[in-house]
Amino acid sequence: MRIGIAQINPIVANFEYNFSKIEKFTKLAKEKQCDLVIFPELSLCGYIPEDLIFQKDFIANTEIYLEKVKQLSNITPILLGFVLKNEGKGKPFFNVVGFFQNGRLEHIYKKRLLPNYDVFNEKRYFEEGNETFVLNLKGKKIGITVCEDGWNTEFSPSYGLYPVDPVEETAKEGCDIILNIAASPFYYKKVYLRETMFSSIAKKYKKPLVFINQAGGVDGIIFDGDSCIFDCEGKIVKKAKRFEEDFIVWDTEEIGEGSFPVEENENKLIFDALTTGVRDFINKIGAKKVHLGLSGGIDSALVAVIAKYALGRENVLGIMLPSPYSSEGSIKDSVKLAGNLGINLEKIEITPYFEVLKSQLPSKIGDLKDITEQNIQARLRGLILMAYSNNNYSILLNTGNKSELAVGYATLYGDMCGALSVIGDVYKTSVYSLAEWINYVYGEIIPKEIIKKPPSAELKPGQKDQDSLPPYPVLDAILEDYIENCKSEAEICERRGFDIKLVEKVISMVQKYEFKRKQAPPVIKITSKAFVSGFRFPITSKLKG
């Protein structure tokens, strides 16, 4: 039996576009003499549709394009994910996979385990299924599961979260092949974890396992593709591209050499995810051009590199916005970086506007405090960058990192402006690691002066980040333990050997500045818990250790 794996990059609720992909790969499956073609979870509408699902046009379009899929199945049998309206009691919809053959929808499998953590909110929309489904085709029995259905085995970090294990129940039905049809969001530690988990499942049940995943970006959520076929020993015998659309064919009778999952370079995974996130966000909103504030610092340098590789140098503009306190070195470094990347560069001084406000505002609001003067400069930059967006239909990329976002070291309506937060889920220490990796792989793109100099907002004389924050290696260790590992203050101190007062101070800053994060742009998610998309935290909270 020949199975086609169609790893597609859908656009949410663009049914015509998504169907064109389904049609293209179904015809390709026919050309490749496949007996079945499989598409990812909810691939007819794209994952994650969120509250678009409640719109009448959404269900109407679903029904229209399901008819088209039925006709398409006259070419080759199809397994396809879509939203099904629930005509009975419970939540209004089901997350289903349909088996289409000979112009008919012959069977529907309803997803059984519905995640409701991190970026997931499936119980808001879907009712749980309660039956297994083993597809009998061409003498092979294929046990079908959908994404989270495969994550309640003993090999999963979420084992025990649900009362049933659909994989085990499906295996007991006597299937020959275990299939997991997914839209599995990316974070950089998940790739190896997921491959190891499915490898262990295949080995335990001594059955080949097919994992198919969506590719591409949806807002700040990245789907890494990486669809894999595991043999009975848990070895990967076929693998699709990562972060891209791809089509692979697996012959169930073919015996090939495989390899067990291996951990890959974290910097490469993160860089590829970030470029995918920028590329798909800009392309899917119908834009082409982007710009960013180029400060001469390492954060904006990294974002400029990502933007260039995501969109091409001709579509990226760096805007230097020097203040009275900007160093000559920062300006020179920005010019050198732009030259290395081949991107366009513009310089707009903010000092004249700043001097006007300094002279005019005190008579209206009182003498300006030091922090007020700093924030005025940041907001002038944001004002100019957003004015450029309005005037040139260019999308502003935000350049703030996760460390700053966590502790509020960023100015609302200033350096927090932007349509997309490119590195808002990247800690400062990881920013440096990525910069070093980029220079190692691509040559010295980021000037070494940018990497070596102490980070500074340059909003007052001699300012350094470390005047207000702990050293970044210390800060990031505390933040990672608190945000992603959910450790208490005492546990962090015991684990890291840090002073309790320091840990308390950092955590209080995280709690205090949630009101800023609620107003931040969408963040490209590369860790297990990103702000805006996966970190649910009330503004008015006060949890003391």
| Each residue's pLDDT tens digit, 241-274 | 999 999 999 999 988 889 999 999 999 999 999 9
SS3 state of residue 49: coil
The structure's pTM equals 0.95
Q: Of residues 34, 41, 308, 402, which has the active-site annotation?
A: 41
- Can you give the pLDDT at residue 219? 94
**Range with the lowest mean pLDDT among 99-108, 153-162, 417-426, 466-475?**
466-475
Residue 41 annotated as catalytic: yes
Quick: pLDDT tens for 431-451: 999 999 999 999 999 999 999
Q: Quick one: pLDDT at residue 544?
A: 63
pLDDT digits (tens, 9 = 90+) for 480-523: 999 999 999 999 999 999 999 999 999 999 999 999 999 999 99
pLDDT of residue 411: 94
Share of the chain above pLDDT 70, in %: 99
Catalytic residue among 111, 402, 428, 525: 111
Mean pLDDT of the chain: 95
The DSSP code for 35 is S
Q: For residue 48, is the peptide bond before it cis, meaning its omega torsion is within 30 degrees of 0?
A: yes
Q: Is 544 helix (H, G, I), strand (E, B) or coil?
A: coil
pLDDT of residue 454: 83
- Counting residues of the chain whose pLDDT is more than 90, the rounded percentage is 91
Q: How far apart are CA 16 and CA 64, in angstroms?
A: 10
The residue with tokens 């949410």 is 12
Q: Is 111 a catalytic residue?
A: yes
Beta carbons of 324 and 297 less than 8 angstroms apart: no
Residue 535: pLDDT band by 50, 70, 90 thresholds?
confident
Q: Which of 34, 147, 228, 417 is catalytic?
A: 147
Residue 310 reports pLDDT greater than 70: yes
Task: Record the tokens describing residue 41, joined without a space.
Answer: 């979870």
Q: By the 8 A CB rule, do 172 and 141 touch?
A: no
Q: Are 149 and 167 in contact (CB under 8 A)?
A: yes
203 carries an active-site annotation: no
Please state, in angstroms and rounded to a whole number, the distance separating the CA atoms of residues 306 and 324.
29
For 157-310, list the strands marked E by DSSP.
177-181, 209-212, 215-218, 221-224, 228-230, 236-239, 246-251, 290-293
Task: Tell me if 146 sits within 8 A of 134, measured CB to CB.
Answer: no
Token pair of 292 as six digits: 């960013």
User: Minimal CA–CA distance to 114: which of 186, 179, 163?
Assistant: 163
The two three-digit tokens of residue 209, written as one number: 């396992």
Of 91, 94, 77, whose CA–CA distance to 131 is shortest?
94
- Nearest partner of 301 among 492, 414, 431, 122, judged by Cα: 431
Instruction: Judge whether residue 545 has pLDDT over 70.
Output: no
What are the φ and ψ backbone dihedral angles of 228, each rounded to 5 degrees?
A: -135, 150
| Structural domains in the chain plus CATH codes | 2-264 (3.60.110.10), 270-469+513-517 (3.40.50.620)
Q: Say which range, 10-14, 369-373, 419-423, has the weakest mean pLDDT.
A: 369-373
